[in-house]
């Protein structure tokens, strides 16, 4: 396969390194042509027109996603795009309609679906090993905050960070949310508050069947990168993210990780490779899209509801943001 990659920033370069191991020819492009030339030379890829390839990977800034995705759909080029599909609900719907109108394959990058732990928990729930699900808990903690200039254009902690939690919640449980009650706090640098954002978050989500879900997040989890999920059922409780590198000090026995996860790339390295492999298989016609634009839209609806709840200080029904 010949695959085009647009965008060679932090995540784009990560995908480029993965793709060079998986495809016959990787065609790279970036707004910074000198940087693109350096990456092409270092990885042995091609500097050229990515739109001439058999499939396309988009790793550009969020503000460019919708236009690039619509263009790919119109050309019926199989396309993988980093989350989110677009920064707003309206633009995401536009992309979804373009994909459905043209019959194009679009895969939005929610890599947690390809993590072995989350996949095993989902299967255990499907197989009935947990019994009836009554409660779930989600946590995402970044070890350090993003750059100050990134925060105003990030969309806020619920859209930028917790959208992964919202997607994996739907995927693992198979349930849709009904109501969200969210809160946030500013405990660190002032640039979060100046952008109308928070650096610490919490939410209570009531699913359509009554299952209760709690959510926590932080931009200042100094112990390391921490992503966890707990599923409590009538027969068993399963946890994801409690491996030997989880950045937790055990008060009971004094244990602690020798090498806690430092960032999302190391924690989900295998999942990132698996999701690109899944996209390539879908582009070859061997499977359906693993995560459609409609899936991305559903996660965004949850993020919108959580952000509205935080700002208004009240529970928000999903119906308020899906009209």
**Statement to judge: residues 246 and 121 lie in one domain:** yes
Threshold 0.85, pTM exceeds: yes
**Statement to judge: residues 244 and 124 lie in one domain:** yes
**Statement to judge: residues 177 and 203 lie in one domain:** yes
- Mean of all residue pLDDT scores within the chain: 96
CATH number for the domain that contains residue 191: 3.30.360.10
Query: Per the domain annotation, does 123 fall within a domain?
Result: yes
- Residue 97 in this model has a pLDDT that exceeds 90: yes
What's the pLDDT score for residue 323? 76
**Statement to judge: residues 80 and 228 lie in one domain:** no
SS3 state of residue 300: helix
CATH number for the domain that contains residue 35: 3.40.50.720
Q: Where are the beta strands (DSSP E) in 198-259?
A: 200-207, 212-218, 226-233, 237-240
**Statement to judge: residues 98 and 64 lie in one domain:** yes
**Statement to judge: residues 136 and 254 lie in one domain:** yes
**Statement to judge: residues 139 and 89 lie in one domain:** no
Query: Per the domain annotation, does 138 fall within a domain?
Result: yes
What's the pLDDT score for residue 71? 97
DSSP 190: T
Number of domains in the chain: 2
Query: Per the domain annotation, does 268 fall within a domain?
Result: no
* Cβ-based burial of 210 (10 A; exposed 0-12, middle 13-18, buried ≥19): exposed
Distance of CA 280 to the CA centre of its chain: 18
**Statement to judge: residues 136 and 36 lie in one domain:** no
Residue 226: partners with Cβ closer than 8 Å, 6 or more residues away: 139, 140, 141, 241, 246, 247, 248, 261
**Which ranges in 44-197 belong to alpha helices (H)?**
65-75, 89-102, 116-126, 157-160, 163-173, 191-194
Task: Determine the Cα–Cα distance for residues 159 and 151; give it in Å rounded to an integer.
Answer: 11
**Statement to judge: residues 256 and 124 lie in one domain:** yes
- Hey, how many other C-beta atoms are within 10 angstroms of the C-beta on 88? 14
What's the pLDDT score for residue 102? 86
Task: Determine the Cα–Cα distance for residues 254 and 263; give it in Å rounded to an integer.
Answer: 24
Query: Per the domain annotation, does 234 fall within a domain?
Result: yes
Residue-range definition of the domain harbouring residue 38: 2-112+273-292
What's the pLDDT score for residue 319? 96
Task: Determine the Cα–Cα distance for residues 73 and 60; give it in Å rounded to an integer.
Answer: 17
Query: Per the domain annotation, does 282 fall within a domain?
Result: yes
Q: E strand or H helix at 186, and its extent? A: none
Place of tokens 């009209």: 323
**Statement to judge: residues 175 and 214 lie in one domain:** yes
- Give the full edge-to-edge strand order of the sheet including 200-207: 237-240, 226-233, 133-141, 212-218, 200-207, 177-185, 316-317
Which tokens is 322 given? 């899906």
Query: Per the domain annotation, does 179 fall within a domain?
Result: yes
The string of pLDDT tens digits covering residues 168-178 is 999 999 999 99
The string of pLDDT tens digits covering residues 180-222 is 999 999 999 999 999 999 999 999 999 999 999 999 999 999 9
**Statement to judge: residues 167 and 99 lie in one domain:** no
**Statement to judge: residues 59 and 23 lie in one domain:** yes
DSSP codes of every residue in 132-161:
SEEEEEEEEE-SSPPPTTTGGGT--HHHHT
Task: Determine the Cα–Cα distance for residues 106 and 110; give it in Å rounded to an integer.
Answer: 12
């Amino acid at each position: 396969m010949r695959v085009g990659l647009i965008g060679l920033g932090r995540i784009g370069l990560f995908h480029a390194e993965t793709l060079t191991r998986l495809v016959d020819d990787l065609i790279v492009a970036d707004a910074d042509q000198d940087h693109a030339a350096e990456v092409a030379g270092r990885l042995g890829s091609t500097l050229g027109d990515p739109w001439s390839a058999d499939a396309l990977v988009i790793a550009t800034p969020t503000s460019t996603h919708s236009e690039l995705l619509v263009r790919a759909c119109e050309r019926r080029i199989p396309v993988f795009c980093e989350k989110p599909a677009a920064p707003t609900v309206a633009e995401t719907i536009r992309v979804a309609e373009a994909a459905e109108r043209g019959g194009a394959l679009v895969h939005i990058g929610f890599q947690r679906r390809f993590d072995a732990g989350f996949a095993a928990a989902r299967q255990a729930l499907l197989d009935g090993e947990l019994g009836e699900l009554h409660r779930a808990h989600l946590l995402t903690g970044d070890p350090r905050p993003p750059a100050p200039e990134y925060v105003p254009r990030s969309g806020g902690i619920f859209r930028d960070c917790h959208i992964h939690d919202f997607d994996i919640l739907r995927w693992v449980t198979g349930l849709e949310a009904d109501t969200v009650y969210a809160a946030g706090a500013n405990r660190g640098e002032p640039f979060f508050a100046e952008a109308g954002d928070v650096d610490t978050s919490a939410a209570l989500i009531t699913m359509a069947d009554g299952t209760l879900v709690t959510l926590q997040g932080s931009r200042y989890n100094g112990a390391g990168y921490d992503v966890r999920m707990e599923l409590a059922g009538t027969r068993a409780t399963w946890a994801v993210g409690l491996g030997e590198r989880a950045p937790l000090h055990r008060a009971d026995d004094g244990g602690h990780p020798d090498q806690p996860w430092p960032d999302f790339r190391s924690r989900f390295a295998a999942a990132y490779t698996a999701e690109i492999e899944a996209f390539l298989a879908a582009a070859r016609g061997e499977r359906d899209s693993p995560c459609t634009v409609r899936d991305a839209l559903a996660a965004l609806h949850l993020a919108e509801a959580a952000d509205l709840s935080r700002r208004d200080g009240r529970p928000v029904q999903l119906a308020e943001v899906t009209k």
